[in-house]
């Protein structure tokens, strides 16, 4: 998480803060804090700084820095040396536990409907689509960016301090037990599992273990709540959310409650298709390419239906959805080429989905793929990358540029099967830029895809500066 992501606006009464955390104030602040911040560099005037202990640094070493930046108070496990004794500190047993307790207090007072989402791929996109739908109905708070981990989820729940009709919370995990830790904070009325795919494989022996970890989301589902499940994913459709919970299934199978219907006419920026719900046909216009985004839209619609939202709001909300930076964002560049910027994260399933979207876009130019390493795939990482190279060749990609040591395996396989096509790999961003520009032709359609750790947005920012886009809304 970046500096901006470590802060959320949240007004908490100082007496509530003391009661919820079971801590004690050294001095009571003069006012209620207006935000909670986890990084001293992000502190603004009037913030409550929560000094977390991490694997690399101890937040209590930065309390004085937070105070100098205008923090109103800090949550600490002990009074750090060098801090002005007049600076208010809330002393607790454990600062991470205190953060979760502050969030829990806000959730207790929230009167709206809460939707929680997990899955191996597509969580953030479905969260954004779901929020776009619910915002048509009423005020909606939702996860900023991908605040979906042990610190991000409580920051999201803290946003429930404000009155709203809905909250949408994305919950991620990289090992068993993480969702079990987080979902009691969220206590959703609707909980969805999108899919189970090979991600974070270094912490799991097989897909069944990942499915078991995803199923933890139902441990916090409110009695009478609704589970939303992917009917086309065998590891998801067989999940049982427990007694007193209904199930609503989405997918292409005729057995799904909310089904993907026929495709309509589409253009570069908008795909059109139907969603089928009971006896209704919902005409959808979506500004995000690919079958995977039709699935994402179906999941979002199913989550909204489970939250008792009507079909008109689903149609309007999905039409309002605008892909965020680095997530299936299409740019028409000034030289006549098209950039599909989809480098927020990657995995074998996500790479395959982006490749399918690329090959079906109605653009006559060459298909060029810049592939960054797919991380956290464990012992099978090499084979996953080789498979990606073979798939790119089978999809008639004209050029594959690999970035990172693992993507070199994809390039090797691509060369073997895509006879005569351009293929190069490197590990230096400046070399990648040079390779790209040397091979570039106006009219190309370009896919940039890689895991978050590869920071491929450095390339897309360079391209957007080189050939400024002409399709900004």
Distance, in Å, from the CA atom of 405 to the CA atom of 326, rounded to the nearest integer, reads 22
312 pLDDT tier (thresholds 50, 70, 90): very high
Domains and CATH numbers, the chain: 4-98 (3.40.1390.10), 110-320 (3.40.1190.10), 329-466 (3.90.190.20)
326 pLDDT tier (thresholds 50, 70, 90): confident
Write out pLDDT tens, residues 54-75. Answer: 877 899 999 999 999 999 999 9
265 pLDDT tier (thresholds 50, 70, 90): confident
Count the Cβ atoms, other than its own, within 10 Å of residue 471.
11
Statement: residue 202 has pLDDT above 50: yes
4 pLDDT tier (thresholds 50, 70, 90): very low
Statement: residue 109 has pLDDT above 90: yes
Count the Cβ atoms, other than its own, within 10 Å of residue 381.
19
Question: What are the strands of the beta sheet with 422-426, ordered from one edge?
Answer: 329-332, 338-341, 445-449, 367-372, 399-403, 422-426
Record the pTM: 0.91
| Res 472: pLDDT | 53
| Res 229: pLDDT | 98
Question: Closest by alpha carbon to 90, among 32, 138, 43?
Answer: 32
Query: Do the beta carbons of residue 186 and residue 115 sit within 8 Å?
Result: no
Write out pLDDT tens, residues 110-156. Answer: 999 999 999 999 999 999 999 999 999 999 999 988 789 999 999 99
Write out pLDDT tens, residues 423-433. Answer: 999 999 999 99
471 pLDDT tier (thresholds 50, 70, 90): low
Instruction: Please report, rounded to a whole number, the percentage of residues in the chain having pLDDT higher than 70.
Output: 98
Supply the angle between the helices 381-394 and 348-360 in degrees, to the nearest 10: 10
Per the structure block, which two tokens stand in for 15? 């007496």
Statement: residue 419 has pLDDT above 90: no
Statement: residue 2 has pLDDT above 50: no
1 pLDDT tier (thresholds 50, 70, 90): very low
Statement: residue 6 has pLDDT above 80: yes
| Res 67: pLDDT | 96
Q: Rounded to the nearest 5°, which phi and psi values hold at 219?
A: -65, -25
| Res 470: pLDDT | 82
Question: Closest by alpha carbon to 338, among 471, 243, 214, 427?
Answer: 471
Averaged pLDDT for residues 172-192:
96
Q: Rounded to the nearest 5°, which phi and psi values hold at 73?
A: -165, 175
| Res 87: pLDDT | 96
3 pLDDT tier (thresholds 50, 70, 90): very low
């Amino acid at each position: 998480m970046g500096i901006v992501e470590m802060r959320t606006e949240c007004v908490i009464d100082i007496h509530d803060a003391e009661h919820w955390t079971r801590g004690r104030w050294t001095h009571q602040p003069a006012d209620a804090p207006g935000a909670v911040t986890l990084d001293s560099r992000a502190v603004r005037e009037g913030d409550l700084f929560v000094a977390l202990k991490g694997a690399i640094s101890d937040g209590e070493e930065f309390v004085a820095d937070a105070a100098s930046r205008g923090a109103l108070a800090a949550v600490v496990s002990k009074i750090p040396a060098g801090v002005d004794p007049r600076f208010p500190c809330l002393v607790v047993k454990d600062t991470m536990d205190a953060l979760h307790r502050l969030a829990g207090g806000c959730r207790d007072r929230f009167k709206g409907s809460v939707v929680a989402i997990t899955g191996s791929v597509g969580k953030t996109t479905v969260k954004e689509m779901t929020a776009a739908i619910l915002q048509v109905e009423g005020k909606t708070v939702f996860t900023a960016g991908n605040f979906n981990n042990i610190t991000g989820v409580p920051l999201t729940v803290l946003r429930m301090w404000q009155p709203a009709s809905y909250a949408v919370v994305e919950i991620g995990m990289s090992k068993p037990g993480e969702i079990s830790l987080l979902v009691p904070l969220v206590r959703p009325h609707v909980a969805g599992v999108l899919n189970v795919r090979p991600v974070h494989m270094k912490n799991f022996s097989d897909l069944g273990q990942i499915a078991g970890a995803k199923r933890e989301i139902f441990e916090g589902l409110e009695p009478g709540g609704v589970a939303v499940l992917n009917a086309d994913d065998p590891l998801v459709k067989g999940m049982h959310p427990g007694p007193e919970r209904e199930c609503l299934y989405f997918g292409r199978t005729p057995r799904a409650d909310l089904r993907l219907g026929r495709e309509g006419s589409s253009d570069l920026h908008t795909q059109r298709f139907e969603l089928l719900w009971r006896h209704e046909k919902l005409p959808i216009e979506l500004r995000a390419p690919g079958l995977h985004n039709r699935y994402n839209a179906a999941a979002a619609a199913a989550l909204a239906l489970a939250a008792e939202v009507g079909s008109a709001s689903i149609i309007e909300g999905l039409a309002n959805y605008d892909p965020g930076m680095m997530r299936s964002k299409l740019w028409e560049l000034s030289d006549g080429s098209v950039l599909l910027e989809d480098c927020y994260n990657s995995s074998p399933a996500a790479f395959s989905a982006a490749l399918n979207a690329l090959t079906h876009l109605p653009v006559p130019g060459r298909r060029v793929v810049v592939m960054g390493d797919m991380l956290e795939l464990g012992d099978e990482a090499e084979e996953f990358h080789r498979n990606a190279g073979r798939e790119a060749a089978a999809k008639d990609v004209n050029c594959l540029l690999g970035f990172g040591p693992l993507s070199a395996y994809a390039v090797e396989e691509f060369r073997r099967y895509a006879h005569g096509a351009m293929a190069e790999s490197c590990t230096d961003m400046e070399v990648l830029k040079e390779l790209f520009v040397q091979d570039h032709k106006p009219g190309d359609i370009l896919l940039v895809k890689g895991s978050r750790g590869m920071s491929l947005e450095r390339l897309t920012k360079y391209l957007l500066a080189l050939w400024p886009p002409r399709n900004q809304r």
